[in-house]
Amino acid sequence: MPKTQARTCLAVILAAGEGTRMKSALPKVLHQVANRSMLAQVLASVQAAGADRIAVVVGPGREDVAAEALRVEPACEIFVQSERLGTAHAVLAARKALEAGCDDLVIAFADTPLVQPETFAALRAPLADGASVAALGFEARDPTGYGRLLQQDGALVAIREHKDASEAERAVTLCNAGLIGLDGARALEILTAIGNANAQKEFYLTDAVEVSRKLGGRAVCVVAPETEVMGVNDRVQLAAAEAVLQKRLREAAMRAGATLIAPDTVFLSHDTQLGCDVVVEPNVVFGPAVRVGEGAVIHAFSHLAEASVAAGASIGPFARLRPGARIGEKAKVGNFVEIKAADIGAGAAVSHLTYIGDATVGAHANIGAGTITCNYDGFDKARTIIGEGAFIGSNSALVAPVQVGDGAYVGSGSVITKDVAPDALAVARGRQIEKAGWAGAFRKAHEGKPKKRPG
C-alpha cells in the first residue's frame, strides 16, 4: 500500500477570490467547466486524491459559494476569510480545521480547476517521505506574473513572487502553480511564522518554503504540465480551461470504447457515461447526467441532458432529450423529436417531428410524425400513457391526462381527449366529405376577377 493511503489528509480549498475580471454577477468559482462549477470540480479532485476532510475558505457574505460547496460535499467545513490579506492568511482562516490535526495538508485553489487527483496525490507523496513542504511547479511558456521556484542542489529553497524577484530570478521558467502540500504536524507552526514583508504586503503561502527551511524542514517541488495548473481569471481563460477539460473527457470516452466521429465537435459533461461501441456523430451536446448504453447511436446535432439511452437505441439527428427522458433498448427517437420526463419502451419508435412530455410509451409502440402530448394546461402537468404495441397515427394530439391501451390504434389527425381501450381504434376528427365538381364551380364564379398575389 502506498504510504499516502495510511495517512490522513485535510484539503483546504481557497475560494475567496474576487473574480472581478469575470465581469459577472456570479462569483468566479461558481462559473462552470464541463457543466459543473470550478469549485465542484476541485472538490471532486481533492476527494479523489484521498482527502478525508475538506475545508473551503470563502469571502465574506459569499453564502452562494458556501452553499455550492455544501451541495457537492455536505461534510465539508466552511470558513470565512474576512479580509483578503494573502494566501497564507486565507489558509489560516481554516485554523480550526488545521488544529484538529492531519498528516498531510493539501492547499488547492478553486479557480485552478484542471488539477488531476493524481497530481494532488503526488504532492502528498514527499510529505510521507518526511518533507515539510511540497510545492507544485510547471515550466511556463511565459513566466511573467508567476512565482518562481528557486532550487539549489536539487532542493527547493524559495518561491519568489514575480513582483519581489530579481532579474536573475525572473529568468527562471519553473513557476509556482500555487498549490502546496504541507506536513500536517508542522503546518500551523509554518503558517503562523509567515510574515508580510513583501511588495504586496500580503501573507504569502509561498513563503512556507523559506520558513520551513529555517525551522529545519525540507522543501521539494513536484512538476505538472502547464495545462493542468492553468488558473482562470477571465472568460477567455475559462474557455481555455473548458477546452482542456473537453479534450480530456473526449479522450477518456474514446479510450473506454465509444466512437466519436468528430471529437472536437462533441461536448461532454464531467459525468457523461458512454457505453462500449456507442457511436456519437458530429455536433452532439451532452448536458449533465446523461448515460448512453452499449451500441447506441447518437446522430448528428442532438442535445441530451439528464437523460438515459439504453443499449442499441438510436437518437436523432436533431433530437432533444430533456431531463427525465429514458429511452429503452433499441428504441428509436428520430429527427426533430423532443422527449421530456418520459419513458420510451424497448423497440418503440418516435421517428419524426414529435413532442412527448410527461408520458409513458409502451414497448414497440409506434408514434407517428407530428404527434404531440398536450401535457400542460397553463397550471398543471398531466401524464399520457401509451400501451405496448399501440399505434398513434400521424399528427395526433393526445390531451393529458389520457391513456391509450395496449395494441390500440389512433387515427391520423385525431385529438384524443378520452381513454382508448386496448386493441380499439379511436378516430377523433371531422369526417371527410366530398362535393363533386365543387372546385370547377368555384373557379367559374371567380372568372375575370383580379387575383391577389399569394402569400
Interface positions with Mg ion (CB under 5 A): 231
Find the distance separating the first CA and the last CA of the chain, reported in whole Å.
78
Using CB under 6 A as the binding rule, the residues of this chain from 28 to 67 that contact ligand UD1 are 57
Minimum CB separation of residue 381 from ligand UD1 in Å reads 43
Q: Which of 93, 112, 87, 70 is nearest to 209 (CA)?
A: 87
| From ligand UD1, Mg ion, none, interface partner of 175 (C-beta below 5 to 8 A by class) | ligand UD1
CA 53 – CA 195 distance, rounded (Å): 27
Q: Is 352 a catalytic residue?
A: yes
Binding of residue 86 to ligand UD1 (CB under 6 A): yes
Stretch that binds ligand UD1, among 63-71, 108-116, 327-335, 439-447 (CB under 6 A): 108-116
> Total residues at the site for ligand UD1 (CB under 6 A)?
26
CB 108 within 8 A of CB 121: no
Binding of residue 138 to ligand UD1 (CB under 6 A): no
Binding of residue 21 to ligand UD1 (CB under 6 A): no
Sign of CA dihedral 205, 181, 27, 114: positive
Beta strands in 242-348 (DSSP E): 259-260, 273-274, 279-280, 285-286, 290-292, 297-298, 303-304, 307-309, 314-315, 319-321, 325-327, 332-344
CA 76 – CA 89 distance, rounded (Å): 20
Identified binder of ligand UD1 from the candidate list 155, 185, 213, 231, rule CB under 6 A:
231
Q: How far is CA 411 from the centre of its chain?
A: 43
| From Mg ion, ligand UD1, none, interface partner of 16 (C-beta below 5 to 8 A by class) | ligand UD1
Identified binder of ligand UD1 from the candidate list 21, 53, 84, 270, rule CB under 6 A:
84
CA 79 – CA 14 distance, rounded (Å): 10
Minimum CB separation of residue 226 from ligand UD1 in Å reads 11
Identified binder of ligand UD1 from the candidate list 138, 146, 267, 286, rule CB under 6 A:
146
Q: Work out whether strand 77-80 and strand 104-109 pair parallel, antiparallel, or are unpaired.
A: unpaired
Stretch that binds ligand UD1, among 36-44, 106-114, 259-267, 349-357 (CB under 6 A): 106-114
Binding of residue 147 to ligand UD1 (CB under 6 A): yes
What DSSP letter does each residue of 111-155 carry, written as one string?
Answer: T-TT--HHHHHHHHHHHHTT-SEEEEEEE-SS-TTSPEEEEETTE
Minimum CB separation of residue 243 from ligand UD1 in Å reads 19
Identified binder of ligand UD1 from the candidate list 68, 104, 111, 281, rule CB under 6 A:
111
Minimum CB separation of residue 18 from ligand UD1 in Å reads 7
CA 138 – CA 179 distance, rounded (Å): 11
C-beta of 73 vs 161, nearer to ligand UD1: 161
C-beta of 18 vs 64, nearer to Mg ion: 18
Using CB under 6 A as the binding rule, the residues of this chain from 337 to 376 that contact ligand UD1 are none
Binding of residue 221 to ligand UD1 (CB under 6 A): no
What DSSP state is assigned to residue 420? B
C-beta of 84 vs 322, nearer to ligand UD1: 84
* Candidates 31, 162, 270, 352; catalytic one: 352
Spatial neighbors of 180 by CB under 8 A, at least 6 apart, are 106, 107, 123, 133, 134, 135, 136, 205, 206, 208
Give the residue numbers annotated as catalytic, written as ranges: 352
Q: Binding residues for ligand UD1, per CB under 6 A?
A: 14, 16-17, 57, 81, 84-87, 89-90, 109-111, 146-147, 159, 161, 175-178, 204-206, 231
